[in-house]
Structure formats: structure tokens, C-alpha cells
Chain A
């Protein structure tokens, strides 16, 4: 398990007006979809321009997920938004604090068409109660 990188939690929230980009570090916040299921947490992350799974890094702890991914090219905008400045983006970054403890050792990830799908089994033990 690689050591977790130092990254701000929910990086976009620390930027102005909650935007999903940081032109200084060339970083975009990906769109994410989160499903809290009975036995697992499922997270999907949309990262267009990321082509190879080798360019995706997922770091897990029992209660956090950190994702870093490199795009296959630098996406350059001549006049970015109302800033009207040149902006270049080449990576995605996102960190989640999870609502339940997970088992990082049994977690699974797959990557297809720029979408990363994480299946994170919940750590909590469940007990069945016999209904009498």
C-alpha cells in the first residue's frame, strides 16, 4: 500500500467559488458518483483524457480515498473562462472522506473509457438476527 499523498480534502472547495479547476497546479477536479450500498461503497470517477490505467493512482486508508491521474495530453485553453488567461491542465486530483470504514486490502478498481470504478467493501461486521 503506497503512502498517502498530502492533498487537501475536496481540493475544489478550497478554490474560489467552488470551481472544479486550479490553473496554477494544472489540476482538474473530476466528476464523481457515489453509491453507499449494503456491503460496499462504490465510487465512479469520470476522467476524460486519461487513457492508461498506469496513469491512475488510487490510495486508500480505512476512511479516505485519494485519486491522482495524469492526462494523456496537456489540455490547453488560450482564454480560460472570464479570466481570459492561458490555462493548461494535465492531471486530476480528488480526495474523499468516506462515510464508513472500508477494507483497503479487499478493495477493487477497474478503469474503462476514462472512468475509474472503485468497489470498497465495508469493514463493519454484520450479524444476522433470527426472527422468532
Chain B
């Protein structure tokens, strides 16, 4: 196998689907949020993503081996979710394949859920969510919903690549990023990002249970967070704290 492949194990029939991405990033926001949406909506596993450059891992759930990066569906909502850390080398091919696959599915929207690491997160009770999009109409919607638009700055990692590749594929891309602990799993920020998502895509997922399970999630996601932090460092994630030259 060369590169990354999305394998559909079920016949995916969806009309202009919305594709949600939950990949390892700051605070594991995307993973926590998408995993919660998958469980709450009882989404069905319909495929997986595999590559010879992914970690040599198989995951067991209820005694059954499965792939660590999987595809879920409920009606016109598709979700791609990774429960393993991804090496910097795999990010480009994975992002490329996700964008190509979303385009092939005639997706109406590719949504990336993530976090923005803030040093004072400990003092923030309700994290603010920032939005970004390659579509002018979506940027208008972001403003209409009173979500601050990411006006200037760098974005690094899989969501950055997906945003970049979506521009060339004419695929509407929406990034929702909550203020988050940079290096700790942050279920509170994941709940904030789901609330923001509800404004664009009415998934109508309650976040109370996510907050209730917050400690359990923080406890269980420690090792994934540590590996993700190591990978983010290799990706040059610190550049997100720099100002672009055009800013001046």
C-alpha cells in the first residue's frame, strides 16, 4: 500500500454530506468532540483509513480488532475519527486523502474541530471558539453567530493542510477551534466546540454527559495526549504563536 487509503466497508449513500474530522491536535479537542458526537448519535462504522506510514497498531473494541482511524455515518453526516497519534509524515497524505474523499462524496462541508492553546486556560470557565473558513458565505455565518473569525495567524497540522487543500478543491471548509489547554486533554473545550458546531450543522448533541465524563476522559487520554504533543512539536506547532509578516 502506498500513501493513505480510505476503505469503505459499507455502501456509503449520503446526499451532499457534511464531513466532520476529529484528528489528534491541541487538547485532543477534535478527537474528544467527534467521539462524543459518534456515540451520542449512535453513528455507524462504515469504513476505515489505513496506511503503511501509520503506527503499527490495531485497536480492540469489545473483543473485535479494528483500525485506529475510522469512518462513521449517520444519514448525511460522515465523521472521520482517529484514536491514535499520527506522525508528522502521515499528516500530508492523510489530509490529501480526506479532502479528495470528501470531494468525491460531493460533500457540502468539511468541518475540522480543534483547539487553540491558551496559557490562561485554567482561568477560563467557558472557552471561546474561533472560526475560519475558505468560503466567504461561511465567514459571514461565523460572524452572524458571533463567533470570532480567525483574522490573522498561522495554523499548523492536519487541519491546516485540509484548509489549504480544500481551497484548491473548491470544497467548503469550516474550522472551529476552542480555547484549550495546549498539552492536556480538554473536554470542556470540546464541549464548547460542539456547541459552536450546532449553529452550522444541527447535530443537536447534548454536551452535559461529556462534561460529566470530563475526569475520565482526561485520565484515559493522557498517553495519547503526550504522543500527540510530541508529534505537534515535530510539526512546528509553535509557529501558531508567531505573527505572520504581512501583519505589520
By a beta-carbon cutoff of 8 Å, the part of chain A in contact with chain B is 19-20, 28, 30-33, 35, 44, 46, 48-49, 75, 112-115, 117
Contact = CB atoms under 8 A, between A and B. Distances in A.
A114 B219 CA distance: 11
B35 interface: no
A46 B184 contact: yes
A24 B194 CA distance: 38
Contacts of B183: 31-33
Contacts of B15: none
User: A interface, by DSSP: helix, strand, loop or mixed?
Assistant: strand
User: B interface, by DSSP: helix, strand, loop or mixed?
Assistant: helix
Contacts of A49: 215, 219
A31 B122 contact: no
B182 interface: yes
A31 B215 contact: no
B184 A33 contact: yes
A117 B182 CA distance: 14
A117 B215 CA distance: 18
B184 A31 contact: yes
Interface of B: 119, 122, 181-184, 214-216, 218-219, 222-223, 225-226
Given A28-B222, A46-B218, A114-B215, A33 B122 contact: no
A32 B222 CA distance: 10
A20 to B, nearest CB: 6
Contacts of A20: 222-223, 226
Contacts of B222: 20, 28, 30-31, 46
A75 B182 CA distance: 25
Contact of B181 (A30, A35, A46): A46
B239 to A, nearest CB: 18
Contacts of B184: 31, 33, 44, 46, 115
A115 B182 CA distance: 13
Nearest to A77: B220
| B181, B219, B226: most-surrounded residue (chain A CB, <10 A) | B219
Contacts of B219: 28, 48-49, 75
A115 B185 CA distance: 12
Given A46-B218, A48-B219, 7 more contacts: A30-B222, A31-B226, A32-B183, A33-B181, A113-B122, A114-B218, A115-B122
